[in-house]
Structure 1
């Protein structure tokens, strides 16, 4: 089951569901029309009126306040299996459906004692929370420490019990908020925003600790403020040091009244692969700024020499203080990869972590690690790519790498775009050509506020162009 886009998930929810609690005067419960679906055909229950869910009628502060409980009409095994199947689809978990407490080592996958202790404490707390969610629970830690796993495990435990959960990455939600609210669709999109805000349980993955005060981020903070006020169960995973949290988030994720608890995990669960992402030693020797000769080994036109010299000077200047993205375009053999690698070497010499990879190789790795047995490797890789200081993606092509791998590639690119993290993309295709098969990526490459575009106009050096 592939992960659907956030817009698809929300529109389906908006068409079928309403989290609004209505007073149906049924004893100790309020009727709740959660997860009403035309896919489930049941006789209307006199207690829940066919919704399948109940909200206890209890005062604010009671452990069951705000909880959504399954009605007794869901007890039959066939109905339960059918409802769980629909809840899995609703949850937006995708491949994370395999992230369960049963599939994990309670001590984590590292041999480091301190990390084992930290993970075990977080694992125990997460399982207790999953069995009886109350308030908020959050997880912080380095890339690959298990934050996303624990959040997904909580979601899967709730789904096993027949209760609705919505999983969203912050990057996806912000992209939706920024692009979705316009004057033409404001009413319906506000309704969809409220579905996320009022979900009975929300798992919000990869929340940056250094939240930027843009309009979309303000909407996110409003959403979290509302969920905190209503005491709606919420799971948050953090990217970055908890000490960098703004006061608004810190007081909610780790509150003195016990409604919010934050667990810090230890070192990486899975060591980062040493081959993928490392600039090969042979390229290090050949591809430096010093070895890039704009004059070439044959006679170039004056325009071509100026173009190559300008490209070298610009990339060299950018590498001194990277800001935003750099797109290098031109036919094969004009020096795009040479300049990108030279910039990466420059940053590594200054202490930055640089990830270099051709996009075809990255897609191969994403496909290879997408099966159940390798999900930890994939999510470790994804978190590493999201957080690395500088990323170089070489050889952006037109053709697709397959739905699952393309989706992961977009998540990586979109996250770095949202956070304005230094990234270089090279391609023998112009953005308009990339848009034919990768429109969502091309859209971001066309943002001139983020991406500086350089077209290198020279002949292939292998056929007598500039010497690289």
Structure 2
């Protein structure tokens, strides 16, 4: 019985149960706050804003893949800019947070900047292994340095082998992003293999970002 039900019915409640519910609520809010803090300000609204109906209607396969995603899932969302990849990924992370999992958002360009600073002796870049759920946004947007490539490859390998939920978004297909990330054919092939080990889904539609030309 919930705390509110006890109050409304003037029924004795188990104090331990009340404590457990309060602690669970606090922990859930802490997980959500940490995820929102990892999001750029413009993307924070995605956590509370439903995805546009036309995006869902046009991309039924992506919607089904997200709904079926487990806490061990690996999903690659690809498509043109503004079709809703990041919005869908954020909403799925929120669903998993509500189930008790931690989540983190990482933008590739910002992450590589943090990696570059770390390589120069600065603070370590955020861990891409620790969170239960990781959104890695805009893979292939920027060509990585050798050091950043090592960290990216380590992330893909560790999250896949440890069965941690990972959602990657990119304007490029997995086959196209491999050569973009590495000039070494063997390394590029290994990256593509890991990206294809989960489920890759292409999104279609117009650019839905505010101010975009129709």
Compute the TM-score of the two structures, normalised by the length of structure 2. 0.69
**1:293 aligned to which of 34, 38, 52:** 52
State yes or no: 1:314 paired with 2:65: yes
Measured in 1, the distance between the counterparts of 2:52 and 2:35 equals 29
1:362 to 107, 111, 118: 111
- 4+ long deviations beyond 6 Å: 274-277
Structure 1 match to 2:180: 437
Higher relative CO (Cα under 8 Å, sequence separation at least 6) belongs to: 2
Which piece of structure 1 moves more, 355-364 or 433-442? Answer: 433-442
Match of 1:346 among 87, 91, 95: 95
CA distance in 1, matches of 2:148, 2:58: 35
- Cα deviations by residue, 1:438-462 (Å, 9 ceiling, x for unpaired): 3132221122xxx111111112124
Q: Which residue of 2 aligns with 1:45?
A: none
- Aligned twin of 1:283: 43
Contact 1:287/1:339 (8 A) holds in 2: no
Give SS of 1:348's match. Answer: helix
SS at match of 1:295: helix
* Structure 1 segments unaligned to the other structure (5+ residues): 1-273, 297-304
- When the two chains are superposed, the root-mean-square deviation of aligned CA atoms in Å is 2.7
- The CA deviation string for residues 360-419 of structure 1, in whole angstroms up to 9 with x for no partner, is 1111111111134x3xx427x3xx321211111000116422111221221122211221
Contact persistence 2:159–2:166 (CA under 8 A): yes
Residue 350 of structure 1 deviates from its aligned partner by: 2.7
Q: Distance in 2 between matches of 1:388 and 1:411?
A: 15
**1:78-157 superposed matches below 5 A:** none
- 8 Å Cα contact 1:391-1:424 kept in structure 2: yes
Residues 280/348 of structure 1: CA separation in 2 closer, same or farther (3 Å cut) = farther
Q: Distance in 2 between matches of 1:349 and 1:276?
A: 13
Residues 283, 410 of structure 1: CA spacing in aligned structure 2 closer, same or farther, 3 A cutoff? same
Larger proportion of helix: 2
How much has 1:281 moved relative to structure 2? Answer: 5.6
Shift of 1:314: 2.9
- In the alignment, the residues of structure 2 paired with residue 387 and residue 291 of structure 1 have an alpha-carbon distance, to the nearest angstrom, of 28
The residue aligned with 1:331 is: 80
The aligned runs of 1:192-341 (5 Å cut-off) are 278-280=38-40, 282-288=42-48, 291-295=50-54, 306-318=57-69, 321-341=70-90
Cα distance change, pair 346–276 in 1 and its aligned pair in 2 (3 A): closer
Distance 1:286 1:308 in 2: 17
SS of residue matched to 1:341: helix
Cross-structure match for 1:7:
none
Whole-Å Cα distance in 2 between the matches of residues 277 and 408 of structure 1? 22
Contact 2:132 2:165 in 1 (8 A): yes
| 2:149 alignment partner in structure 1 | 406
- Equivalent residue number for residue 165 of structure 2: 422
Q: Distance in 2 between matches of 1:366 and 1:277?
A: 19
CA distance in 2, matches of 1:327, 1:393: 10
Q: Tell me if structure 1 keeps the 8 A contact 2:108–2:141.
A: no
Structure with higher Rg: it is 1
User: How far apart are residue 277 of structure 1 and its match?
Assistant: 6.8
| Structure 1 residues 287-322: Cα deviation after superposition (integer angstroms, max 9, x where no partner) | 45x6212326xxxxxxxx74324423431332xx33
Query: Is 1:378 matched with 2:138?
Result: no
Report what 2:132 is aligned to.
389
Number of residue-to-residue matches in the alignment: 172
